[in-house]
Structure 1
Amino acid sequence: MENKLRAMVRDCLDKHLHASAIFLADKLVTVGGTEEDVHLHAQALFQGRQFRRALHLLRTHGLLHLHPRYRYLAAKCLEEIKEWDECLSVLGDYEVDQHGNYPMKDDIDPESGHQAGINIAAALCLLRGRACEALENRTRALCWYKASLRVDPYCYEAYEHIVDNHMLSSEKEVAFLSSLKFDADDRWLSLLYSCQAKKYGQISALESKLSELEREPQKHSNVGLSLKDNNDVLACRADYLYHRGEFQLCYDITKTLLEKDPYHLKCMPLHLGAALELGRKNELFLRAHNLVQEYSQRPIAWFAVGCYYYCIRQFDHARRYFCKATTLDGAFYPAWLGFGNAYAAQDESDQAMAAYRTAARLFSGCHMPALCIGMEYLRTNNLNLAEQFFMQAKGICPTDPLVYNELGVMAYRNREYEEAARWLRKALVLVQETRNSLTLCWEPTVVNLAHTLRKLKLYPEAISMYEKALALCPRGATTYAALGFTHHLQGSTGIAIDFYHKALGLKPDDTFTAEMLTAALTEECLRPSFAKELTALH
């Protein structure tokens, strides 16, 4: 009868018949009463969301100190009821160093191979990390997440916390991954982890790794399997394209992925970001509507609504929904950035700074909050503080072209034109290292460099850069005006007049261009050669 009851309880748990499982497990404990029977009853209670009852059962039978998995189940109950201090107390918050070397070797089950499942010690470390993070001790949480992966690299949730919460800089992520001990046949896992890490500075390496994951297994390859059509690999490729500035290709991949799996929430922020960059307001509206219907308690739903309102430039509504997303999950990075950007779009620097500073505190491995703070200081003409934050962003991510563009703009504002030219050239070099040609989103950087070269009186090179900018954005009125002004400075007033006319054709209310056109026409009329031409015509 005991064996029959055990089998029935396990079958009910498999079929999610929680009430039946709890009923039968209770009788099993009365009849059998072994440690495993009590543990099985507690599992049934946990799956039936009777967390306090499960915890009481484990404590009453004195199981917490008999085996790590009993302690783990008790801690999971405490996690569900948000009693984090007690959770750490049950788990034992041992000393763990910054490299994640796990101190409690007795918890590691040497027989828990990957055929059997994740090592229980890795799960214990993960839960300690979650408790520390909930208590806002992110430094210690990171140490426990590292420990979890050192015990068992298959514990993906620990890696997800490190990457999604930007706990490490790009360089530290690479160093940590290289220190993990993967089995010989786990190269696919190592490659996938590398592809999910930060992308800047690793574009060529990532292309190679993604190609290896998507390739059919070769005779001498140790990847072991092909993940060509795997959704997570497709999401990695989309993320890779997003960081290259190829928003259309990124959007196409994420849209295809979401047609296969409409609720693949992992790639949803990426899809929404690409749609926002491309101005796809209808797509944003439909995604937001569906997400709110299905996941109203998830931050991604309200983030999508915020993206829609941001796209149609209703920034008051956008920041309201970004704020709601951060309230639901304070560790949802995209919403904090969107929250700050919505304030910045309306020149509300203090509120934008508050959002960016919170993001910088929560996501210390990400350079974007520091960069955004620097941009706000630059906009309000606080150049010294702007430089500090730009250099901080550069230290975290030394390969983002946008950082060098902002450094160039700051140097230009300081009238350090040679320094500005150096930073802007560096930005364009980094852009061209990641892709074969420039895209429209980098047109402002090209224009910035052209302005700088004009200030340095390198007129032929400045003209070349303006022409390159016009190739990227043919209807750039200010670029036509600047190009005309450069020709004007060289004394080529006839060419300058043509460009001023083109600029005014695109933007008739441009006062500067109108004034310069008048000046150029006056100079052209006063030229000696003009008088001779006029006499010849008569």
Structure 2
Amino acid sequence: MREGEVEKLRAVVRDCLGKHLYSSAIFFADKLATLAGNATQDLYMQAQALYLGKQYRRALHLLRRHHLITADLRFRYLAAKCLEEIKEWDECLLMLGDSEVDEEGNLLVMDDQDTELLDKNIEEREISIGAAVCLLRGRAFEALENRARALRWYKAALKADPYCYEAFEHLIDNHMLTSEEESVLLSSLKFDPEDRWLSLLYSCRAKKYGQVSVIEEKFQELEKEPDESRPEEERVGCSLKDNNDIIACRADYLYHQGEFQRCYDTTKALLEKDPYQLNCMPFHIASALELGRKNDLFLRAHNLVQEYPQKAISWFAVGCYYYCIRQFDHARRYFCKATTLESSFAPAWLGFANSYAAQDESDQAMAAYRTSARLFAGCHLPALCIGMEYLRTNNLNLAEQFFLQARSICSTDPLVYNELGVLAYRNRDYDTASRWLRKALQLVPPPLTEAWESTVVNLAHSLRKLKSYPEAISMYERALSLFPRGASTYAALGFTYHLQGKTGKAVDYYHKALGLNPHDTFTAEMLTSALQEECLRLSSAPDAEFYSLSGMPHIS
């Protein structure tokens, strides 16, 4: 067959692949390989067509029959991808070779082919085949539940090529690294100067507790239009303001800062523009749950189940709806289904555990939280929730251990310090409690929102116990500015004035508290006591005595 005709057939195969006509591509690739004398490049194209047509075993057989697996790393990688698709993970790892990495993702032992390709300079911007091999090793080890080795290979993939986004996604979404470890990894990546936007985006996608001003600056740079009048190397800005992933990343940031309403508004606007943007869906659903938007949760869950019945996010949404309407048994069933579909979906595991905790089923909740802690070693929330369960059951020593463990994983989450403050308060160590609670409020980004009202109240209680009444009153008033209908806060404020002997003001605040919660027996009793004390004070005041005597006749 003439060379021109062979090239024409190759062009047809490439076009079929480009147009997703996989059966046609397989048909023509098979004829091309025969007519061209089984040339290596044509056999590779045929194997690719078989892989894309989901004929994985046939593609693997083709590569083995022509002894192509040892010819080039590309063939070995394609064979390993076929094994990945048919879930033969051990054989997949054998296919990829005996390479090894250390805990930081640095290569220790490499095959000759791997070393040659990883050391090769990429003249045009394409993903390194070595990085793809490292990523596939990581996925295989994760499927075999060897998360420690999977973590190493994901790091190696990202270090081999920072453009290997899937490796970064596995590390971040599966909570495989602590906040500090994420920072160290990102600082070790070698980005080209023109890739600053990618470096900024990775930094914003990492854990978002603390460093509020730094993260805001990065968002601003990503969203800012560059000044075209300045030299190219001096331009600041990346023009990604309207990019969906940037908006989803900002929604994630808002959720972790406790700004649930802003997060909900942001994700709602994004989903109106792109209803199938799943990156922002967990934050949208979680913020809707926090805000009690049960109608939105119902509609969103219904649509997701119709469109994506095999995705964990769909059944997570159903579970959140039932959790919102307090049908915890149903919620637990759907959270469990979400974890079955995707075992590494952290929100579903936490929802599953929380649904047990909401019904005071502590043992089952603890078991689910411990599973979450094992699966998501870089996430501090399972340890924090275990500590909260121990605190609820009055096991204060174990509660403290888990709170400190959560703090070691993430030292910048204000919720951790709030719980440490509550623990110290329960231990009657009010000075320590006030220190922890002040630390929590320092870490909350301004302006303070209603979500942190309980932390302000906790600090006010601690200050009252320390007899710092003026500061305690200031904190109670601050809490009321965040949540004006806090009956217990009005009662506590009245009690603080009562302790100062200012029974008149105490009576006013007790009345406000009972107006919001008429069934509060403690406030009713304290109101009676304050009224009695106020009457005694007035009856024994000098002015009262003067006016009572002024009506008597003067006796000389």
Deviation of 1:222 (Å): 5.6
TM-score w.r.t. length of structure 2: 0.93
Q: Confirm or deny that 1:267 pairs with 2:271.
A: no
Residue in structure 1 matching 2:389, options 352, 360, 376: 376
- 1:96-115 per-residue CA deviation (whole Å, 9 max, x = no partner) reads 11121234312327254443
Preserved CA contact (<8 Å) 1:446 1:468: yes
1:415 maps onto 2:419 in alignment:
no
Does structure 1 residue 44 correspond to structure 2 residue 49?
A: yes
Of 145, 160, 183 in structure 1, the residue corresponding to residue 192 of structure 2 is 183
Distance 1:9-1:528 versus aligned 2 partners, 3 A rule: closer
Task: Report if aligned partners of 1:315, 1:346 keep a CA contact under 8 Å in 2.
Answer: yes
Could you state the TM-score of these two structures normalised by the residue count of structure 1?
0.96
**SS of equivalent residue, structure 1 residue 185:** helix
Q: 1:238 to 1:348 in 2, by over 3 A?
A: same
Partner deviation per Cα, 1:447-487 (whole Å, 9 max, x = no partner): 11111111111112111111111111111111111111111
- Structure 1 match to 2:86: 81
CA distance in 2, matches of 1:99, 1:114: 28
Letter in 2 for 1:31: L
- With over 3 angstroms needed to count, the CA separation of the structure-2 counterparts of 1:289 and 1:93, relative to structure 1, is farther
| Unmatched tracts of structure 1, length 5 or more | none
* Superposed CA offset, 1:175-226 (max 9, x none): 1111111112111111111111111122111111111111112324366742
Q: For 1:351-370, list aligned pairs within 5 A.
A: 351-370=364-383
Return the alpha-carbon distance in structure 1 between the equivalents of residues 159 and 502 of structure 2.
68
The reply to whether residue 469 of structure 1 matches residue 473 of structure 2 is: no
Residue of structure 2 in register with 1:10 after alignment: 14
Distance in 2, Cα, partners of 1:510 & 1:205: 45
CA contact (8 A) 2:417 2:440 kept: yes
Q: Deviations over 1:77-136 (max 9, x none)?
A: 111111111110101142111121234312327254443x21110100000000011111
Distance 2:203 2:516 in 1: 47
1:152 paired to 2:161: yes
Alignment-derived partner of residue 245 in structure 2 = 232
Cα deviation, residue 410, structure 1: 0.1
Residue aligned with 2:404, SS: helix
Check whether the contact 1:25–1:40 (CA below 8 A) recurs between aligned residues.
yes
Task: Give me the whole-angstrom Cα distance separating, in 1, the residues matched to 2:533 and 2:478.
Answer: 28
Cα separation, 2, equivalents of 1:206 and 1:499 = 42
How far, CA to CA, are the matches of 2:60 and 2:226 in structure 1?
A: 47
The amino acid across from 1:12 in the alignment is: C
TM superposition shift of 1:44: 1.0
Query: Does structure 1 retain, via aligned residues, the 8 Å contact 2:289–2:321?
Result: yes
Give the alignment of 1:323-472 within 5 angstroms: 323-431=336-444, 434-435=445-446, 437-472=447-482
Verify the 8 A CA contact 1:331 1:362 in the aligned structure 2.
yes
Q: Counterpart amino acid of 1:75?
A: A
Specify the alignment match of 2:76 in structure 1. Answer: 71
Verify the 8 A CA contact 2:421 2:434 in the aligned structure 1: yes
Taking the TM superposition and a 5 Å limit, the aligned residue runs for 1:441-520 are 441-520=451-530
Assess if the C-alpha contact under 8 Å between 1:78 and 1:84 holds in 2.
yes
1:524 deviates by 2.9
Deviates more, 1:100-109 or 1:125-134: 100-109
The SS at the match of 1:267 is helix
Report the CA distance between 1:360 and its aligned residue: 0.8
Equivalent residues of 2:387, 2:399 under 8 A apart: yes
Deviation larger for 243-252 or 385-394: 243-252
Structure 1 stretch displaced more, 491-500 or 338-347: 491-500
1:53-84 CA-to-partner distances (Å, cap 9, x unmatched) read 11111111111111111111111111111111
Contact 1:186 1:223 (C-alpha < 8 Å) held by counterparts: no
Identity %: 72
Task: Give 1:244 deviation, angstroms.
Answer: 2.1
**Which letter maps to 1:497?**
V
Instruction: Tell me the SS of whatever aligns to 1:266.
Output: helix
Match of 1:31 in 2: 35
**Whole-angstrom distance in 2 between the partners of 1:296 and 1:307:** 16
Q: 1:481 to 1:519 in 2, by over 3 A?
A: same
Per-residue deviation, residues 229-264 of structure 1 (Å, max 9, x unmatched)? 111111122222222222222222211211221111
Residues in 2 aligned to 1:528 and 1:534: alpha-carbon distance in whole angstroms = 9
Amino acid at match of 1:454: R
Which one of the candidate residues 248, 255, 275 is aligned to 1:242? 255
In structure 1, what residue type is equivalent to 2:83? Answer: L
Coordinate RMSD, CA, aligned: 1.8
What secondary structure does 2:101 align onto? Answer: coil
- Paired with 2:540 and 2:321, the residues of 1 have a C-alpha distance of 56
SS of the residue 1:192 aligns to: helix
- What is the distance in 2 between the residues matched to 1:341 and 1:427? 23
Q: What's the CA shift for 1:528?
A: 6.0
Q: Distance in 2 between matches of 1:477 and 1:252?
A: 29
Q: Is 1:161 aligned to residue 170 of structure 2? A: yes
**In structure 2, what residue type is equivalent to 1:186?**
D
Aligned positions, number: 534
